[in-house]
């Protein structure tokens, strides 16, 4: 305990995140898939063992059972954000207006519907394969927790109705919100009924198990250092071996920010989480027993959900930007980010001031100029890629995986096809990107603090926070 009587904060660091430790403990025994030694030949070589890489492998195996698939993962499958995220599982309803603008109202709606089907699809997949990822289809509530700042929920609901998706966002007044979770900080909100939560690492590790059973050749502890086009396809080079394949898939999420071709197209940003000790009785006092996922409407969004053993897992996008595509300790060891996350927790749940945190961790989020994933190909179609999920990849990684798998199987995904190879704006070069992101982060935090306290933010803060929009970047829904 500290002098003030508040519990000590856990220190984020190299330890596996709490979700992944739980998932690994449930594996018996948990064996590392062997590192790559020597030469291997495949039809498709996938770089990255997160959801995107593993859904691509799984769905390609469904479409082309004879395809020889190799998956190379620098760490262990699920060791990245796929095994340490918040577990909010939803599609793109809040992106529907943007999808409609980019692809037309009809196609936009079809893409959003397809992304929404993923939620039930993942639940059904878990049942089919005996993967107990604690799938909980009880919706996602967004609440306004600012003292005086109104939200334009009515506008969001009306635009979804206009675009053909009535009922996908449902307004809840303060009483409706309080009936779900009784924090005095919560005002009115909006519910996305079709969303769910999962235990993220159990899903990632379950996917890995199914892939191994299906004969996918997985090499963990195997970082790909080079990827070169060759006349027969591509050659991937690792520390102690290489893979020759007709096609490669880059499914490296925020790490893509360091790959040639993507450096100026993506910003990596830190998101951090804590998990409390088990507090089922306190959750019952709050009335939060329905398993709903919740987030607030801060600029540096706080997101929180309960766990199957009665804890709160609570995160916020309060980390820092990375410099020049490097994915280093800023995304995993940032103690000040954890202090921020905990301050947000205390603000939203003042009645839980005495509750202990059992773990803290962070990871990188991959942000593109329009906060929407980019899926496409390089080197004449020999290298396919998907990244840019902007902290919403649990469901959308399936959409990306399916799109990549259909291309690799020589088919066409009629619904998501327009997402493939879409144009993308570049971000400012370094050091301007890093310096700009830092200044904007500070302004957003100040803005949130002011709005939390019911103060009017200063002119400079408001101006800096608006810079991304003024430059034409999309940084909110």
Ligand X SMILES: Cc1cc2nc3c(=O)[nH]c(=O)nc-3n(C[C@H](O)[C@H](O)[C@H](O)COP(=O)(O)OP(=O)(O)OC[C@H]3O[C@@H](n4cnc5c(N)ncnc54)[C@H](O)[C@@H]3O)c2cc1C
Chain residues that interact with ligand X, rule: CB under 6 A: 47-53, 72-75, 79-82, 84-88, 223-224, 251-253, 255, 271, 273, 303, 315, 362-363, 365, 387, 389, 391-394, 397
Report which residue's Cβ sits closest to ligand X: 393
Q: Tell me how far apart the terminal alpha carbons of the chain are, to the nearest angstrom.
A: 40
Q: Which is nearer to ligand X, 86 or 206 (CB)?
A: 86
**Min. distance of Cβ 173 from ligand X in angstroms?**
26
Among residues 335, 357, 325, 330, the alpha carbon closest in space to that of 427 is found at 325
**Min. distance of Cβ 50 from ligand X in angstroms?**
2
Q: Which long-range CB contacts under 8 A does 282-289 form with residues at least 24 apart?
A: 282/351, 282/352, 282/355, 283/310, 283/312, 285/182, 285/351, 286/181, 286/182, 286/183, 286/349, 286/351, 287/178, 287/179, 287/180, 287/181, 287/182, 288/180, 288/181, 288/182
**What single string gives the DSSP state of each residue in 127-183?**
HHHT-----B---EEEE---SS----HHHHHHHHHHTT-TTSSEEE-HHHHHHH---
How far, in Å, are 13, 27, 148, 280, 429 from residue 367 at the CA level? 23, 33, 29, 35, 15
Q: Which is nearer to ligand X, 50 or 468 (CB)?
A: 50
**Min. distance of Cβ 83 from ligand X in angstroms?**
7
**Min. distance of Cβ 450 from ligand X in angstroms?**
25
Q: Which is nearer to ligand X, 189 or 315 (CB)?
A: 315
Q: Which is nearer to ligand X, 55 or 349 (CB)?
A: 55
**Min. distance of Cβ 286 from ligand X in angstroms?**
20
Q: Which is nearer to ligand X, 81 or 461 (CB)?
A: 81
CB 22 within 8 A of CB 30: no
Query: Tokens at residue 242, please?
Result: 């290489």
Q: Which is nearer to ligand X, 227 or 464 (CB)?
A: 227
**Min. distance of Cβ 81 from ligand X in angstroms?**
3
Q: Which is nearer to ligand X, 369 or 397 (CB)?
A: 397
Where do we find the tokens 């500290």?
Answer: 2
**Min. distance of Cβ 408 from ligand X in angstroms?**
16
* β-pairing verdict for 233-238 and 224-230: antiparallel
């Amino acid at each position: 305990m500290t002098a003030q009587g508040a519990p000590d904060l856990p220190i984020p660091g190299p330890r596996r995140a709490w979700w992944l430790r739980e998932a690994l403990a449930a594996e018996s025994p948990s064996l590392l898939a062997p590192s790559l030694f020597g030469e291997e030949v495949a039809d498709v070589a996938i770089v990255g063992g997160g959801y995107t890489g593993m859904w691509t492998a799984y769905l390609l195996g469904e479409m082309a059972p004879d395809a020889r698939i190799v998956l190379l993962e620098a760490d262990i499958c699920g060791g990245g954000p796929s095994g340490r995220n918040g577990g909010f599982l939803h599609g793109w309803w809040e992106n529907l207006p943007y999808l409609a603008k980019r692809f037309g109202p009809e196609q936009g709606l079809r893409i959003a519907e397809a992304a929404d089907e993923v939620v039930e699809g993942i639940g059904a997949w878990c049942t089919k394969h005996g993967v107990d990822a604690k799938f909980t289809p009880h919706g996602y509530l967004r609440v306004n927790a600012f003292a005086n700042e109104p939200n334009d929920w009515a506008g969001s609901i009306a635009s979804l109705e206009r675009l053909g998706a009535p009922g996908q966002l449902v307004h809840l007044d303060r009483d409706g919100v309080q009936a779900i979770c009784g924090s005095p900080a919560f005002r009115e909100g909006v519910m996305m009924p079709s969303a769910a939560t999962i235990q993220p690492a159990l899903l990632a590790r379950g996917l890995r198990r199914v892939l191994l059973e299906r004969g996918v050749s997985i090499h963990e502890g195997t970082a790909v250092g080079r990827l070169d086009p060759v006349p027969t396809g591509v050659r991937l080079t690792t520390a102690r071996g290489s893979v020759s394949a007709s096609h490669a898939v880059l499914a490296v999420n925020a790490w893509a920010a360091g790959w040639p071709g993507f450096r100026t197209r993506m910003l990596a940003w830190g998101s951090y989480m804590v998990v409390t000790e088990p507090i089922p009785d306190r959750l019952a006092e709050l009335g939060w027993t329905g398993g709903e996922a919740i987030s607030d409407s801060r600029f540096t969004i706080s997101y929180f959900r309960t766990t199957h053993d009665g804890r709160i897992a609570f995160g916020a996008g309060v980390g820092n930007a990375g410099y020049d595509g490097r994915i280093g300790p800023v995304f995993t060891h940032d103690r000040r980010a954890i202090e921020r996350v905990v301050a947000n927790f205390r603000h939203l749940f003042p009645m839980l001031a005495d509750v202990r945190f059992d773990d803290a961790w962070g990871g990188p989020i991959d942000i593109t100029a329009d906060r929407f994933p980019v899926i496409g190909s390089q080197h004449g179609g020999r290298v396919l890629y998907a990244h840019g999920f902007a902290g919403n990849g649990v469901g959308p990684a399936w959409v990306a995986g399916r799109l990549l798998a259909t291309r690799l199987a020589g088919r066409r995904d009629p619904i998501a096809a327009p997402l493939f190879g879409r144009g993308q704006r570049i971000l400012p070069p370094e050091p301007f990107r890093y310096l700009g992101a830092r200044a904007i982060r500070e302004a957003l935090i100040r803005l949130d603090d002011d709005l939390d306290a019911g103060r009017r933010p200063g002119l400079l803060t408001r101006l800096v926070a608006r810079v991304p929009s003024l430059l034409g970047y999309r940084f909110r829904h």
